[in-house]
Chains A and B, each alone.
Chain A
Amino acid sequence: MPKAKSTYRPKKKTHSVDAPEKTSGAAVRPLWSGTITFGLVSIPVDLLSAVRPRQTAMKLIDKEGHALGRQYRCSKDGKKLVNEDLIRGYETDDGKMVVITDEEFESVAPEMSADINLINFVSADQIPPVYFQKPFYLAPAGKSSKAYNLLVATMEHTGRVGIGNFVMRGHEYLVAIVSDNGVLRADTLRYADEVRTADSIGLPKPSKVASELVNQFSKSITELKRNELSAEELEDRDAEELQALVKAKQKDSSNVVHQHALESDDPESSSDGGAQIIDLMAVLRRSLSKRAVVTNAQSSTPISLDERRASKRATNAKPVIKKKARTRKSRKS
């Protein structure tokens, strides 16, 4: 069995099989709630994921179709362990194990803060793509969305994006706050020491280029040029192949299993991506505009609460794969 290794997350412990099952209720639960401080102006916001997991995750079962789970055990006495029995150790280069207690982690954790501090504004095209890590939407959370709309309009007028930082789940994040069709998005940024350069990799110095060769490439580029990208160009072909195979196999009932509490094959992906989509819609409708519509890039069909409920009912009655309307949450409760 491999050694259990994890990146330390102070506020959210690694899950165990004994954790109570989550219910699928439509509770509005953002990942983080706080305030953007723009000068002395405070803008209360909820942070929600702007991306959802790929539709390729699978569950673990045994040959007979029984649901499987993960369990931690002590390598010495074989005892079953729950979160309270665990402690983290750091292995030094000379093989020494340094044990760090939860209290010690707590003592170096960033000060709990509910502020996204806007430090300065930069021109949007100044941030190299290598810095972008993960996008989140910021939905207005207060009674009034006026200050929120003011920041959106200001960034749209000036073409600037805000650079700020905030603390979430014990980690400090650097973010670029951008305005996206009337909604604020916070894209987390990598720190400079995480980003390599051509120089640090050791790539050869650019040599003189033959203009003839450049022209040939430019010509090929122009031939493949379009003004927009169509959804098919970015579609998930792995997911399509997988779903086609599943559809074919489903016809033989011996391939179909019925089990509760199926566990994902990827322990990192067990976040409720589906719930966040519902939240985003509801929050934006309530706080910004009744006409707010969220879609994924693939379909222009809105992802709405009603539609999701309807599709869930349909799925329960007749198990067919409804690719566009279904998300992880409806498969997992």
Chain B
Amino acid sequence: MARAMWKGLIALGKQTVAVKMYSAVEDRSIRFHMLHKKDHAPVEQHIIRKDTGEDVRREDIRKAFSLDNDTAVILQPEDLDKLVPPESRDIQLCRFVNATVLGDQWYDRPYYLGPDADEPSYFALARALETTNMIGIARWVMRKKRYIGALTSINGYLALSTMRRADQVLKFAEIEPASNMKPLPNELKLAQQLVSSIEADFNPQLWKNEYRQRLLKLIEARARGEKLTPVKIKKKAAQVSLADSLKASIAAAREKKVA
């Protein structure tokens, strides 16, 4: 049983649902210490004055907000305290939209929510989201920071993903390509055939982070005092005309399916 990282209260109209929050992702990146090459001693990071190179004590460090390249407004510790939002356990649902309204680029960090003592309400809300096919937009304060998130249901459970903020996401109005660069009907037909010939279900289990696996092997070998000689794989693709390439690709895909 994973440990909950936070407890909150979903507020929807007059109803509330007590929930526990769990990270939906596991950080599997391999962390290294930085060492001095000569003596393998750990490296320390110091904050220094750029002009003199002198060390600056922690309590003398201030933060500043830049106005332009060389002008900034200095903020004192009490200013930063003022910016801390009031503490709260509420996950306030402000809006619901159809699940298709939110593009993938909005999702930042995913969390699962679990029931906190009130299973009937928890599973009922998950069911309500599922049947209405809606996503809830929520705001909450967690560990002195404000968050915006998307409340969804996954297989009958509630999930809350933090979202990027409005000015972070870049958008386009529909771009119409130049007329001489538009695909021809026969090319489009061939391309669609190619797509259906390599169509599949999304199966993330098929892909492993091979670099991470090789790196772990290397570390294990080095820990035992061994050396490793790795094998490298090379790939190459040919290049002909668009329509010919598409036809050849479809033929190749068919062959693969038969084999």
Specify which of A213, A214, A239 is in contact with B167 (CB 8 Å cutoff): A239
Interface residues of B in 1-36 (CB under 8 A from A): 1-2, 12-15, 22-36
Q: Are B74 and A204 in contact (CB under 8 A)?
A: no
Specify which of B48, B208, B248 is in contact with A70 (CB 8 Å cutoff): B48
Q: Are B44 and A75 in contact (CB under 8 A)?
A: yes
Residue of B nearest to A276 (CB): B170
Q: Which residues of B contact A198 (CB under 8 A)?
A: 112, 114, 154-157
Residue of A nearest to B224 (CB): A98
Bin the interface of chain A by size.
Answer: 35 or more
B128 smallest CB distance to A (angstroms): 4
Q: Are B154 and A4 in contact (CB under 8 A)?
A: no
Residue of B nearest to A158 (CB): B195
Q: Are B32 and A89 in contact (CB under 8 A)?
A: yes
Q: How many A-B residue pairs have CB under 8 A?
A: 593
Q: Are B163 and A190 in contact (CB under 8 A)?
A: no
A79 to B128, CA, bound (A): 62
1/0 contact trace for A180-197 toward B, CB 8 Å? 111101010111111110
A315 to B72, CA, bound (A): 12
Looking at chain B's contact residues, is the secondary structure mostly helix, strand, loop, or mixed? mixed
Contacts A100-B222, A172-B210, A331-B69; A226 near B95 (Cβ below 8 A)? yes
Looking at chain A's contact residues, is the secondary structure mostly helix, strand, loop, or mixed? mixed
Q: Which residues of A contact B240 (CB under 8 A)?
A: 40
Q: Are A233 and B114 in contact (CB under 8 A)?
A: no
Q: Are A88 and B34 in contact (CB under 8 A)?
A: yes
Contacts A59-B66, A60-B63, A296-B171; A39 near B124 (Cβ below 8 A)? no
Q: Which residues of A contact B37 (CB under 8 A)?
A: 84-87
Query: A19: CB under 8 A from chain B?
Result: no
A232 to B154, CA, bound (A): 27
**Could you give 19 example pairs across A and B, Cβ below 8 Å?**
A39-B253, A62-B62, A88-B35, A104-B228, A146-B183, A150-B242, A160-B195, A171-B211, A174-B207, A202-B2, A203-B115, A206-B123, A214-B128, A227-B101, A236-B166, A246-B73, A257-B71, A295-B173, A331-B69
The 10 closest A-B pairs by CB, nearest first: A39-B249, A182-B175, A217-B128, A202-B1, A298-B166, A236-B165, A135-B105, A76-B41, A213-B124, A150-B183
